[in-house]
Structure 1
Amino acid sequence: MPTEKNQLLEEFNQWVLFVQSLNNQSDEIWDLCLDEGKWSIREVVSHIMKWDKYFLEEAINKISTKSTVAVKHIDFDEFNNKAKIYGKTTSIIEISEKAIFYRVQICNQIRSLTDEQYMGTYVDGDGNPFLVTQYLKDFIEHDQHHINQIKNIRSKKEG
């Protein structure tokens, strides 16, 4: 499965490249809302960064060190609201640096997993199965959803 692993990691790393492409954008662009009453770009980047941090600390690090996976079903609304507040109150540079840092850490740790670790089925903190491959697939889809939203609002602003 190393080929699938490499392919998934390449797709998962697209978020890093996308955030890097935002680095030369003005505060005005980062503060654009995706739609009326929706989150700004900075809040979306913060949202993904906070989820990356959570999964790095509670799942990927644990798998890498052969510890128990601690990911649990948490209150998504509360978690996302805290990420939104963080995004509003933190500098764009810090948000961007942390978004890149956590995603690179996840990629590096997954890349270093043995095939057995990578393909393993783990039990999360709620007793549900956790698979690295499914995690990557789910978040690649999640990333693409937000990347497309951001690209759309940027093209409307520029067009």
Structure 2
Amino acid sequence: MRDTKAVITSYGEFSKWLISLKELSNEEWIKPIAEGKWSVREMISHFMNWDNYIIATVVPLVKDGEPFGFPEFESFNKLASSYATSGISKDDLLDEVILTRNHLVQVLKDMPEEVITKSLPVGGHTHCPHTGEPYSLIYIIQEFIEHDLHHKRQLQGVLK
């Protein structure tokens, strides 16, 4: 059984790193991380897009004891890219991403332990095919921590 408080705290600590991105130049902010890849701003918007999805779709289903799934990734991720390139300023986007992450962390903290750890099917599957662990909201949050860290490492590699 995972320590839900530690997982939620870890998820929230990502905001500290996001704040540091306010120091980026505009050139760094809009530069793709590699040819044909997203820019820093698009990747940052991507984090918020997923947090909003968890808040608006996943949490209500979990609270009702209902299974959940995820949208088709490519079109969903394009929404994040479009928002990032819509003209929103670097500081405004970062503020919005941080506010959204902090809101999600508070939502998770307010959920009863038995709800956040309850096993539920995700995308029609009861267990993760890679680990064999049963799916639950806290398991998915742990997966998103890994997802965030993957993208953070990509960005750090480019921003050095």
- TM-score, structure 1 normalization: 0.83
Q: Where do 1:131-142 residues align within 5 Å?
A: 131-142=136-147
Q: Given residue 8 of structure 1, which amino acid in structure 2 is its aligned partner?
A: V
Q: Determine whether 1:10 maps to 2:9.
A: yes
Q: Tell me how far apart the structure 1 counterparts of residues 156 and 109 of structure 2 sit (CA, whole Å).
A: 29
Structure 2 unaligned residues grouped into runs of 5+: 127-134
Q: Tell me how far apart the structure 2 counterparts of residues 105 and 119 of structure 1 sit (CA, whole Å).
A: 19
Q: Tell me how far apart the structure 2 counterparts of residues 30 and 152 of structure 1 sit (CA, whole Å).
A: 14
Instruction: Please tell me whether the aligned partners of residues 61 and 68 of structure 2 are also in contact (alpha carbons under 8 angstroms).
Output: no
Q: 80, 96, 99: which one pairs with 1:98?
A: 96
Structure 1 unaligned residues grouped into runs of 5+: none
Q: Tell me how far apart the structure 1 counterparts of residues 70 and 151 of structure 2 sit (CA, whole Å).
A: 22
RMSD of aligned Cα (Å): 2.1
Name whichever structure is richer in helix by fraction: 1
Instruction: Please tell me whether the aligned partners of residues 4 and 113 of structure 2 are also in contact (alpha carbons under 8 angstroms).
Output: no
Q: 136, 139, 148: which one pairs with 2:153?
A: 148
Q: Determine whether 1:42 maps to 2:41.
A: yes
Instruction: Please tell me whether the aligned partners of residues 46 and 99 of structure 1 are also in contact (alpha carbons under 8 angstroms).
Output: yes
Q: Tell me how far apart the structure 2 counterparts of residues 60 and 118 of structure 1 sit (CA, whole Å).
A: 9
Identity of aligned residues (%): 25
Q: Determine whether 1:73 maps to 2:78.
A: no
Distance 1:62 1:105, change over 3 A: farther
Q: Determine whether 1:83 maps to 2:80.
A: yes
SS at match of 2:24: coil
Aligned residues: 151
